Amino acid sequence: MAVDLVLLAMGFTHVVHGGAVESLGLELDPRGNVALGPDGQTSAEGVFAAGDTVLGASLVVRAIASGRAAAASIDRWLRG
């Protein structure tokens, strides 16, 4: 079947605490999500996160808003 775009809906899953979260030593909030500072960064300098990683399992519209907020934070950080 020819397609132009494929979206995968993985359902409500929790952030995996191994891999990048573990290797970067990212702090977690009391619910087990990646914690963010007021500037939108994780506990690792220059590392940002969004969506279910910081919100927990949620609606896609919240993930989109979170991604936009992360993009704005990254832009501010890059501009200094």
The DSSP annotation for 4-44 comes to S-------S-PPPSSHHHHHTT--B-TTSSBP--TTSB-SS
| Closest-CA residue to 35 (of 20, 56, 19) | 56
pLDDT digit string, tens, across residues 15-73: 778 888 898 999 999 999 999 999 999 999 999 988 888 988 888 888 889 889 999 99
Main-chain phi, psi angles of 28, to 5 degrees: -115, 150
Residue of higher predicted confidence among 63 and 10: 63
d(CA 72, CA 51) in angstroms, rounded, equals 14
DSSP single-letter state for residue 48 = B
